[in-house]
Amino acid sequence: MVQFDTIPDSNSASGSDRKDRKNKDKRSRDRTSAGEGRAPSQNGSHAIAERRSSVSKPARDFRDKPEPSPKKKRKTSATTAIVPVEEVESSTRSPSPVIDFDGLSRPSRGTRERLEETEKQKEERLERMKGAVRTLLECVGEDPDREGLLATPERYAKAMLFFTKGYQENVRDIVNGAIFQEGHNEMVIVKDIEIFSMCEHHLVPFTGKMHIGYIPANAVIGISKLPRIAELFARRLQIQERLTKEVANAIMEVLKPQGVAVVMESSHLCMVMRGVEKTTTSTITSCVLGCFERKEKTRNEFLSLIGVNRR
């Protein structure tokens, strides 16, 4: 009897193979999920593995995280505004006070009346001031009728009018057309200008020196006009910070130079004779405009020439 080898059915064999492969894959996945995040230890057990640090999110205090950089807005041709050249140049300058040339360089009550008053009005003003000084003498415990004080009210009233004579002056009269087109564009400095002014907080003097420098834009100003402009603003009730800025702004407005720099150093009797009573202290203020504000090299050259950097 002839025996024939039995050929297995291809469909049934392939079906059982696929089933075995599925079972193996399932068992493999189960082992992977059960042992995920664990590392085998020496005794064969699984321990929790150390968490790997993430490069994108470092594990540190949230306060150490840098602030997100602001997103730059894309400029479109429809929204892009053209900035005039004058506005770009003026952005480097400090705000300037109103410079009107008819008697007032800084708004202040009563200065126009004082500038334009008649002789009779001057006498009436002086009498009012004399009466006020007499009242002060009485209030401090003095006898205004004693010999040494009889003329004090009048003397003090006239002195106070002189200390504040800057209220009766204006920049146009001070400059008096002394601006000349010389084509000069190098630094001009007038240093060690003596300044005497009155502190508006205590009505006592502060004195010192002022240094003024400017770089012309072809036009130069009469050299004596710089101390005169400083004197104009100093002969008012002032604080040193504003005085420094007003002198710089006035020169900038009148001359239109490339830049102006003003430095002032003074001693204030309001902190020498009273208050903290520090006799050796000095106060330094500065105001730089135009190219002195924009260019550090130009500013340092000015400070070296006036001697500030050598101290």
Residue 289 banded pLDDT, cuts 50, 70, 90? very high
**Domain end point (choices 129, 146, 166):** 166
Residue 70 banded pLDDT, cuts 50, 70, 90? low
Q: Are residues 185 and 298 in the same domain?
A: yes
Residue 84 banded pLDDT, cuts 50, 70, 90? very low
Residues 75-93 as b/e (b if ≥16 CB within 10 A, e otherwise) read: eeeeeeeeeeeeeeeeeeb
Q: Which of 47-56, 80-89, 209-218 has the lowest mean pLDDT?
A: 80-89
Q: Within a domain: residue 279?
A: yes
DSSP H helical ranges for the chain = 10-35, 85-90, 111-116, 119-139, 152-163, 171-175, 225-234, 240-255, 291-294, 296-305
Q: Are residues 202 and 294 in the same domain?
A: yes
Identify any residues that bridge with 179 across adjacent strands, giving them in sequence order: 221
pLDDT of residue 168: 84
Long-range contacts of range 148-153, CB-CB < 8 Å, 24 or more positions apart? 153/129
Q: Are residues 249 and 139 in the same domain?
A: no
Residue 300 banded pLDDT, cuts 50, 70, 90? very high
pLDDT of residue 114: 78
Distance, CA of 199 to CA of 238 (rounded, Å): 5
Q: Within a domain: residue 85?
A: no
Q: What number is the average pLDDT over the span 154-164?
A: 96
Q: Within a domain: residue 131?
A: yes
Q: What number is the average pLDDT over the span 35-39?
A: 49
Q: What number is the average pLDDT over the span 24-44?
A: 56
pLDDT of residue 282: 94
pLDDT of residue 164: 93
Q: Are residues 156 and 216 in the same domain?
A: no
Q: Which of 51-65, 109-123, 129-143 has the lowest mean pLDDT?
A: 51-65
State the residue range of the domain holding 148.
111-166
Q: Within a domain: residue 285?
A: yes
Query: Which residue matches tokens 């770009």?
Result: 88
**Domain end point (choices 120, 143, 166):** 166
Q: Within a domain: residue 310?
A: no
Distance, CA of 228 to CA of 35 (rounded, Å): 92
Taking the complete model, does pTM exceed 0.85, yes or no?
no
The rounded mean pLDDT for the chain is 79
Q: Give the length of the chain.
A: 311
Q: Are residues 188 and 147 in the same domain?
A: no
pLDDT of residue 28: 64
Distance, CA of 198 to CA of 162 (rounded, Å): 11
Q: Are residues 191 and 273 in the same domain?
A: yes
CATH of the domain at 250: 3.30.1130.10
Q: What number is the average pLDDT over the span 7-13?
A: 51
CATH of the domain at 124: 1.10.286.10
Residue 265 pLDDT > 60, yes or no? yes
Q: Are residues 189 and 249 in the same domain?
A: yes
Q: What number is the average pLDDT over the span 297-308?
A: 93
Q: Are residues 299 and 220 in the same domain?
A: yes
Q: Are residues 128 and 200 in the same domain?
A: no
Residue 59 banded pLDDT, cuts 50, 70, 90? very low
Residue 149 pLDDT > 80, yes or no? yes
Residue 237 banded pLDDT, cuts 50, 70, 90? very high
Q: Within a domain: residue 199?
A: yes
Residue 87 amino acid letter: E
Residues 122-144 as b/e (b if ≥16 CB within 10 A, e otherwise) read: eeebeeebbeebbeebeeeeeee
Q: Are residues 151 and 242 in the same domain?
A: no
Q: Within a domain: residue 80?
A: no
Share of the chain above pLDDT 70, in %: 63
Of 2 and 205, more confident: 205
Q: What number is the average pLDDT over the span 12-24?
A: 61
Q: Are residues 153 and 260 in the same domain?
A: no
Q: What number is the average pLDDT over the span 47-57?
A: 50
**Domain tally for the chain?**
2
Q: Within a domain: residue 271?
A: yes
Q: Are residues 204 and 158 in the same domain?
A: no
pLDDT of residue 71: 63
